[in-house]
Amino acid sequence: MPPVDPVPDPEPQPQPLPPHERQLEVNPQKDSLFYDGTIPAEIRDQIFFYSVQEFLKTDEASIWPINTRYTRPGYSSNRKVDISLLLTCRRIYLETCHLPALKREHVFFHGSSTAPQHQSQHTNNFGYDSEVEYFRQLQPWQLALVKEIHLFTQMFWLEHTFVDFCQQDFMRNIERLKLTIRRGDWWWNERNHPLVIAPHRDTVQHHFCVAQMHQDIAVQGRGGVTPFAEGAWGLAFKHLPSLKEVEIEFETSDDKKAELETIVKWAKTWKFPLKDGLVLSTEGLGMTTTSWQSPYCYWSHRCPYCGSHSRNHCNSEGTPNEEKCAERSSLRLSGLGPTCYMYGLRWRVAQAADAPRDEYPEIERLHLQEPPLQQPPPPQVP
């Protein structure tokens, strides 16, 4: 058999120019109110800006069920950016094409039971397939406009995957990263385990972890510094070359509020190392507190106030917890869950030794009163 010449590799095809870079004639649209001098340019910009804002869809198929671990104030249905305006004419397209990728919230929920349907099909709870798939759909010029990302994520993902995640290409332009740790995202929340978090350690999923955390808190309280262990999630931020700000939201239910406040007070002292002698610091930055009434599924099977295993009967008669147990029963009968509290802290880039002051030093206190519109009936209890 005669030798077969190898098939030459095809010439790499140049990427087509994005529409806004093509040299095409642009109609100045001088007959339009937007461009004939009637509407000032700055007002036109505002109208265009608001026209492409992301919104929560209200059709029945888009609204998320209320009694889930991901539905919450601000996150209650699928979202959409209407791009009809961009399709009007070339001139408007050139002025607005950057807005959808720049201004929408690029938000991801992790976990099969803690993410809405469109993000929960991925079976690997330790991965970030949703993000890979989402950013793959963007053109390179659109991806370059993505500056912010918001993750609702569980503690095990933070410890196992976050360092690797921050080294992915789609994170290179991220300037603002927000993490939300929900009530159900803490280690062993289903067993009512004490809240524990340790950005300096490679993992906290061991029995001694709570004591270890309180030891770290005590060291910090005496002015000491806890070093970062190799692989600790607190080291992940230094892989983000464009990072300017991090926000972490810490959430728990009413029964664990005091535990969370201890952690948040400690978290305010965390300094995450970056490159070139820089750190992320909360110095001079405020804190936000919000609360909301969670849905029924947020209750653990065991009463958090008296420890009763019975779904209907508590053991706290005549004890200081009696009132809380009664409140729990009443909320459950109404199909509601516990009040949840959320504390938000921000970190900004600063010199390791000398962090700048912020223009918002005051604590902002918000209270989100957004009870679900329709309550599902409580499940039948045998």
Residues that bind Zn ion (CB under 5 A): 303, 305-306, 308, 314, 325
User: Of 53 and 310, which CB lies nearer to Zn ion in the complex structure?
Assistant: 310
User: Of 76 and 252, which CB lies nearer to Zn ion in the complex structure?
Assistant: 252
d(CA 361, CA 346): 11
Contact between 137 and 100 under an 8 Å Cβ cutoff? The reply is no
Work out how close the CB of 278 gets to Zn ion at its nearest, in angstroms, rounded to a whole number: 48
Token pair 């509407």 is found at 39
User: Of 91 and 302, which CB lies nearer to Zn ion in the complex structure?
Assistant: 302
Work out how close the CB of 311 gets to Zn ion at its nearest, in angstroms, rounded to a whole number: 10
Work out how close the CB of 210 gets to Zn ion at its nearest, in angstroms, rounded to a whole number: 23
User: Of 292 and 305, which CB lies nearer to Zn ion in the complex structure?
Assistant: 305
Contact between 299 and 332 under an 8 Å Cβ cutoff? The reply is yes
- 3-state DSSP helix/strand/coil % of the chain, to nearest 5: 30, 15, 50
| Structure token pair of residue 276 | 């070139």
Work out how close the CB of 305 gets to Zn ion at its nearest, in angstroms, rounded to a whole number: 4
User: Of 82 and 323, which CB lies nearer to Zn ion in the complex structure?
Assistant: 323
| Structure token pair of residue 32 | 């339009």
Helix (H, G, I), strand (E, B) or coil at 288: strand
Contact between 84 and 93 under an 8 Å Cβ cutoff? The reply is no
Work out how close the CB of 356 gets to Zn ion at its nearest, in angstroms, rounded to a whole number: 47
Work out how close the CB of 306 gets to Zn ion at its nearest, in angstroms, rounded to a whole number: 3
User: Of 51 and 308, which CB lies nearer to Zn ion in the complex structure?
Assistant: 308
Give the C-alpha distances (Å, rounded to integers) separating 277 from 133, 145, 233, 269, 280: 34, 27, 18, 17, 10
